[in-house]
Structure 1
């Protein structure tokens, strides 16, 4: 069996040996649209994170039987065309939850205690010049007791909520935006924003959530609130967020995702220079352990397919 990994760079150099039990594994760090056909023309299994695969490809790939998305999302694969071509598609869900939870609270902890500012002060000699034993130039706040609003209450949102509770926060589960009813145990989306000290986003990007955090909804947040987005960039309108941070309408934000990735030089959050924004390059999911779980999940999917099973089948 010929197995081809199209964008191995997204796997951060982890051990791919669990895949070798199924056949010959060929890896490419990156693959352009023009290179796809030549690289997978003889492949039986294709593994891809972000390389787009569509009907034009499938019509030329008679050997291809299985596409393994090296991710949870499958939006880069034309699922309708894959089904029509008789090609199975799988994904891996839940592998990155511990990593994203850790990243969420790493960003939040930095912002609430201003560690990044204090570390910068130390590098520039401020502590050495202090008239007392410490520096207290920037506010230091606890998660304990804060109203922690979770937007998106799937497995990831629930895991974040559990950790927030362990810190002693008062967790509030936001109802879906524009929902006409509020389920038991939840608070209407706009009402939740009005009382939030912290907002952590974990919902998928859909037509209903695209730019749901915009100038109008960000204005509902108290000025001391902190926003964390480790979900999808398109959920937050970036010009509005940059403006809210600059005007101090919002205290701070931690952002791991942008609407266009890789980041573009003209993105307002890339251009923003204030120290109340922490921006990371879509790394919340990418702990070594997370990627190891991803590879193990892909191997399980291939084994299941070969045995006639349906594990993680999307198509």
Structure 2
């Protein structure tokens, strides 16, 4: 069986990628440009892909393709309808980031809530010496205990974040879908979550219904000037509206690990916010603890082995 990995460099070089348990050839490309996709998968029966786009045109160039192993949870880079029409099975990775994403989420929350980056930068600039005493109070420091955490997205990651929030003494609200108020007492209407939360964190997929689910109108409805954290998907937030919301005091801070286009262009609105003490941008690494990436790589090969046995798992198409 011919297996091609189109973007091996999206997994850290320290990650061990074991061989599948059957006779095969495996060709790994560090990166693959769009113009090279068709040629590289032309003879493949299995394609491993993380972020490279596989559209209908590319799939048409691979007549022997039977299985796509996605080295991630998100599959928006795959034309799933074209795969179904061709009978190509697609499997993704699940539940590997149950610790790393919630931990990164709270690292960002703590950093903003306690002005960690602002105080670090102040010390670097000599402010401590200039203060002339044992401490100084230039930036706000707020406890999380007793505050309200709004969680948008109730999957494994959203639930894990909610559990940590409760353990820290936060009041946790699980948001209903935007525009829905009929989801039962376990969910709080989306609009109410925006209005009463001190911290809002996103853990939902990027779908037509969730694209730009938070923008200028939603920022204006955030009465408590919350922190906004997105470790889920770029595009959930209207990114051009974040800077104005910070400047207007509608947000007290924002932290993003994801951007609609990655890496962001130099003229992306976020690049103008990097010197602000109330804004943090990390390079899509919430998922990337050593433990989580190795678990992903192991599950990736497990998925391929399961397909070869005729019992595919984690099937999305």
**Could you say which TM-score interval applies, normalised by the shorter chain?**
over 0.9
1:221 matched to 2:222? The reply is yes
TM-score, scaled relative to structure 2:
0.94
Q: C-alpha displacement at 1:133, in angstroms?
A: 1.4
Q: C-alpha displacement at 1:147, in angstroms?
A: 0.6
CA contact (8 A) 1:144 1:167 kept: yes
Q: C-alpha displacement at 1:92, in angstroms?
A: 0.8
CA contact (8 A) 1:127 1:135 kept: yes
CA offsets per residue over residues 76-104 of structure 1, 9 Å max, x none?
A: 12222223333221111111221111110
1:298 matched to 2:300? The reply is yes
Helix, strand or coil: the match of 1:240? helix
Q: Return the alpha-carbon distance in structure 2 between the equivalents of residues 93 and 177 of structure 1.
A: 25
CA contact (8 A) 1:222 1:250 kept: no
Q: Return the alpha-carbon distance in structure 1 between the equivalents of residues 27 and 92 of structure 2.
A: 20
Match of 1:18 in 2: 18
Unaligned runs of 5+ residues in structure 1 are: none
Q: Return the alpha-carbon distance in structure 1 between the equivalents of residues 98 and 8 of structure 2.
A: 21
Match of 1:126 in 2: 127
Aligned CA-pair RMSD = 1.6
CA contact (8 A) 1:233 1:259 kept: yes
Q: Which moved more, 1:105-114 or 1:211-220?
A: 211-220
Q: Return the alpha-carbon distance in structure 2 between the equivalents of residues 6 and 151 of structure 1.
A: 32
The residue correspondences of 1:163-202 to structure 2 (distance < 5 A) are 163-202=164-203
Match of 1:204 in 2: 205
> Compared with structure 1, are the counterparts of its residues 188 and 86 closer, same or farther at alpha carbon in structure 2 (3 Å cutoff)?
closer
Q: Which moved more, 1:30-39 or 1:18-27?
A: 18-27
TM-score, scaled relative to structure 1:
0.94
Q: Which moved more, 1:54-63 or 1:278-287?
A: 54-63
CA contact (8 A) 1:54 1:82 kept: no
Match of 1:271 in 2: 272
> Compared with structure 1, are the counterparts of its residues 62 and 16 closer, same or farther at alpha carbon in structure 2 (3 Å cutoff)?
farther
Q: Return the alpha-carbon distance in structure 1 between the equivalents of residues 86 and 186 of structure 2.
A: 44
Q: Return the alpha-carbon distance in structure 2 between the equivalents of residues 68 and 230 of structure 1.
A: 23
> Compared with structure 1, are the counterparts of its residues 265 and 299 closer, same or farther at alpha carbon in structure 2 (3 Å cutoff)?
same
Q: C-alpha displacement at 1:223, in angstroms?
A: 4.5
Q: C-alpha displacement at 1:182, in angstroms?
A: 4.1
> Compared with structure 1, are the counterparts of its residues 168 and 180 closer, same or farther at alpha carbon in structure 2 (3 Å cutoff)?
closer
Helix, strand or coil: the match of 1:254? strand
Q: C-alpha displacement at 1:171, in angstroms?
A: 0.5
Match of 1:282 in 2: 284
Helix, strand or coil: the match of 1:18? coil
> Compared with structure 1, are the counterparts of its residues 58 and 227 closer, same or farther at alpha carbon in structure 2 (3 Å cutoff)?
closer
Q: Return the alpha-carbon distance in structure 1 between the equivalents of residues 38 and 225 of structure 2.
A: 52
Q: Return the alpha-carbon distance in structure 2 between the equivalents of residues 300 and 84 of structure 1.
A: 25
Q: Which moved more, 1:110-119 or 1:55-64?
A: 55-64
Match of 2:41 in 1: 40
Match of 1:233 in 2: 234
Unaligned runs of 5+ residues in structure 2 are: none
CA contact (8 A) 2:115 2:277 kept: no
The structure 2 residue matched to 1:309, chosen from 308, 311, 317, is 311
Aligned residues: 315
Helix, strand or coil: the match of 2:68? strand
Q: C-alpha displacement at 1:7, in angstroms?
A: 0.6
Helix, strand or coil: the match of 2:131? coil
Match of 1:103 in 2: 104
Helix, strand or coil: the match of 1:26? strand
Flag as ranges the 4+ runs of structure 1 deviating above 6 A: none
> Compared with structure 1, are the counterparts of its residues 249 and 56 closer, same or farther at alpha carbon in structure 2 (3 Å cutoff)?
closer
